[in-house]
């Protein structure tokens, strides 16, 4: 039998109001985090994408709630096949990278940083949606402040692919290229 939380998540739609409602529920009742993460990281689960939607919104407001699950997140993300889940995962990665860079933020392990860097570069060289690539670029830019080899690699990839992408991609990457120089 499905839990009450599972049923609520199952009935959640892409509408921002619905997703915000689920985020607020989980923030109010953090005991739902283990079930939410279990659903998100089980890629055979029909609603794992919906779980990623909620994780993204939680990471925006209360990233520290996800800290105990970062290891599982880093192991699962490379296996994602759904574009919507990849986009939300790349956004979560951006939040993780930003927080990891701050003095009072979360602390990623070196392994987690390496996994995140690899995922982001993989998304950049593969045929992924623009939003996924842009969040990967932003995360790599932040991580490049710690690892000096990242910015030159990132710059190379952006410049090679620049003319083949949409105006939205070009606008986002122009900003990053200016910051790298």
Write the burial class of residue 179 (CB in 10 Å: 0-12 exposed, 13-18 middle, 19+ buried). exposed
Query: Can you tell me the distance from the alpha carbon of 33 to that of 170, in angstroms, rounded to the nearest whole number?
Result: 37
Domains of the chain: 4-180 (1.25.10.10)
For residues 113-127, average pLDDT:
96
- What's the pLDDT band for 57 if we cut at 50, 70, 90? very high
Residue identified by tokens 């986002």 is 172
pLDDT on residue 168? 86
pLDDT on residue 165? 85
pLDDT at 181 over 80: no
Could you give the percent of the chain with pLDDT greater than 90?
A: 88
**CA angle 146–152–153, rounded 5-degree value:** 95
Q: Which two tokens stand for residue 6?
A: 């599972």
Within 13 Å of residue 131, how many CA atoms lie on the same side as its CB? 10
pLDDT at 30 over 80: yes
CA 156 to chain centre: 23
Residues 6+ apart with CB under 8 A from 113: 100, 143, 146, 147
């Amino acid at each position: 039998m499905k839990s009450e939380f599972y049923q609520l998540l199952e009935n959640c739609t892409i509408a921002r109001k619905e997703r915000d409602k689920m985020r607020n529920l989980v923030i109010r009742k953090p005991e739902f985090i283990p079930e939410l993460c279990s659903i998100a990281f089980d890629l055979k689960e029909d609603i794992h994408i919906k779980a990623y939607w909620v994780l993204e919104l939680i990471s925006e407001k209360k990233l520290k709630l996800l800290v105990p699950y970062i290891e599982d997140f880093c192991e699962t993300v490379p296996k994602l096949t759904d574009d919507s889940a990849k986009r939300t995962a790349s956004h979560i990665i951006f939040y993780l990278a930003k927080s990891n860079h701050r003095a009072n933020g979360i602390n990623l392990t070196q392994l987690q940083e390496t996994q995140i860097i690899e995922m982001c570069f993989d998304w950049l060289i593969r045929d992924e949606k623009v939003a996924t690539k842009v969040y990967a670029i932003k995360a790599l830019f932040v991580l490049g402040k710690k690892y000096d080899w990242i910015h030159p690699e990132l710059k190379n990839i952006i410049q090679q692919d620049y003319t083949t992408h949409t105006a939205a991609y070009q606008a986002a990457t122009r900003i990053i290229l200016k910051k790298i120089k």
